[in-house]
Structure 1
Amino acid sequence: MQLTNNKKIYFASDQHFGAPTPELSFPREKKFVAWLDEVKKDAEAIFLLGDLFDFWFEYKTVVPKGFVRVLGKLAEIRDSGIPIYFFVGNHDLWMEDYFQKELNIPVYHDNQEYTFGDKTFLIGHGDGKGPGDMGYKRMKKVFTNPFSKLLFRWLHPDIGVKLAQYLSVKNKLISGDEDVTFLGEDNEWLILYSKRKLETKHYNYLIFGHRHLPMKVTVGENAEYVNLGDWITYFTYGVFDGETFEIKKYSN
């Protein structure tokens, strides 16, 4: 992808809309829509790196209620010709084809590689990557198993969605009641993962969400690990202008 006419590429992650309640989530949704309205003016493309929703499950004919303003704004931007790319997170990993069919937005379930100008990128949500976190990795295998999804689909949506939302907001990190702190390069799993990826292939930027803590860390020669933060506590996003990558805070 080549950037043209001073265009930029934007990145955002971990909005967790719907948490901890629809009423408390609503102001954050309006803020995110305002951000989308702002960046669409010079966006070459927009990358959403997962956990846009605190819970999302696609039944055969049903999707979760709500988020109309967010979905409508994404549709408007995509219809205007600006590409949008979505990477599922651990809270919306049950996405199927709704975004593709209704919004013309491709959905990815794992990392993807891109080249923007002369810079190379590895992009993904980041859950289950790196050493450790074995409990979550086992749980993810269960959640993504086709038979498990079939069993959940047998639940009436009113029951299934409410149950999943209840379990989700029990996590203090997701509800925003507990901040996160930098653990140091030797203990941050995604930093370790990035360094390991660089052993086999070079990337200028390795960009992830999931961690909820905005940061840029040099992980190799001309290589940076980037975490985008979240839209619960930090309201941060990434922007690439063709030469450099910055993390910015949206304060409108």
Structure 2
Amino acid sequence: MQLPKGKKVYFSSDNHLGAPTQAESLPREKKFVKWLDEVKEDAGAIFLLGDLFDFWFEYRTVVPKGFVRVLGKLAEISDSGIPIYFFVGNHDLWMQDYFEKELHIPTYRDVKEFTFNDKVFLIGHGDGKGPGDKGYKRMKKVFTNPVFKWLFRWFHPELGMRLAQYLSVKNKLISGDDDAIFLGEENEWLAQYAKRKLETKHYDYFVFGHRHLSMEIKVGEKSTYFNLGDWISQYTYGVFDGENFQLKKYD
């Protein structure tokens, strides 16, 4: 994609809407919608890197109640012609085709390469990448297994949603969320993942979420790993202006 003059690419991640309750997350949802309203003015594209919701499951005719403000705003922006890309996170990994059919937003389940103005990006949520975190990786295999999803679908939505929401908030192994403590440049596992990817191909920027910590780490002579932080306490996001990538905070 060649960005038109004055256009930018925006990135955000980890809103966890609905946690710990929908009522308590509502102010954060409204703040995020306000941000979307502002960035649409010069956005060439918008990337949402997962965990927009704290839990999401699509039955054939049922989707989770709530989130009408953010869903409506995303529909408005998509309908206006601004491309939006969504990467499934570990909390909304059971997303199917609702975003694609209703909002015309393509949905990705793994990292994907994009090029903007000759700058090569590798983009994704980030869960399960890099060394370690073996407990979560095993759990993810279970939760993404088609048989497990088929069995869960037989729960009545009222029971299934309540159970899954409880587990999402309470069980750290299921959530895959580490404590948001900076591990040091040499120990951040997504930085290590980026360095390994550079052994086979050059990327200018690696952009991930999941860690709930905004960070910028040089992983190669001309390559940088960015983590977007979250929209729970940091309200940080990324922006590429056609030449450079920056992390910013929304007040």
TM norm structure 1: 0.96
CA offsets 1:83-119 (integer angstroms, 9 cap, x no match): 0000000000111110000000000000000110010
1:218 aligns with 2:213: no
Change (3 A) 1:173 1:155: closer
Match of residue 156 from structure 2 = 156
Task: Describe how 1:195-234 pairs up with structure 2 within 5 A.
Answer: 195-234=195-234
CA distance in 1, matches of 2:166, 2:6: 44
How big is the alpha-carbon RMSD for the aligned residues of Structure 1 and Structure 2?
Answer: 1.6
Equivalent pair of 2:139/2:174 in contact (CA under 8 Å)? no
Distance in 2, matches of 1:34 and 1:179, equals 28
Structure 1 residue 169: Cα displacement: 1.4
- 1:133 maps to which residue? 133
Contact 1:173 1:180 in 2 (8 A): no
- Matched letter for residue 236 of structure 1: T
Q: Distance in 2 between matches of 1:174 and 1:73?
A: 30
Question: Displaced runs of 4+ in structure 1, greater than 3 A?
Answer: 171-175
Aligned residue for 1:144? 144
| Cα pair distance change 1:179/1:148, threshold 3 Å | closer
1:186 CA drift (Å): 2.3
Distance in structure 2 (CA, Å) of the matches to 1:118 and 1:60: 41
- 1:175-213 CA distance string (max 9 Å, x none): 9xx962211122211011011111111100000000000
1: distance between equivalents of 2:75 and 2:168? 27
What does residue range 167-186 of structure 1 map to in structure 2 within 5 Å?
167-170=167-170, 180-186=180-186
Q: 1:123 corresponds to which residue?
A: 123
After superposition, the Cα gap between the structure-2 partners of 1:7 and 1:173, relative to the gap in structure 1 and judged at 3 Å, is farther
**TM-superposed deviation, 1:168:** 1.3
* Structure 1 residue 154: Cα displacement: 0.4
| TM-score after normalising by structure 2 | 0.97
Which blocks of at least 5 consecutive residues in structure 1 are unaligned? Answer: none
Query: Is the aligned partner of 1:41 residue 2:41?
Result: yes
Give the whole-Å Cα distance in 1 for the aligned partners of 2:145 and 2:179. 32
| Matched residue count | 249
Distance 1:179 1:137 in 2: 17
Q: Deviations over 1:128-153 (max 9, x none)?
A: 00001111001000000000000000
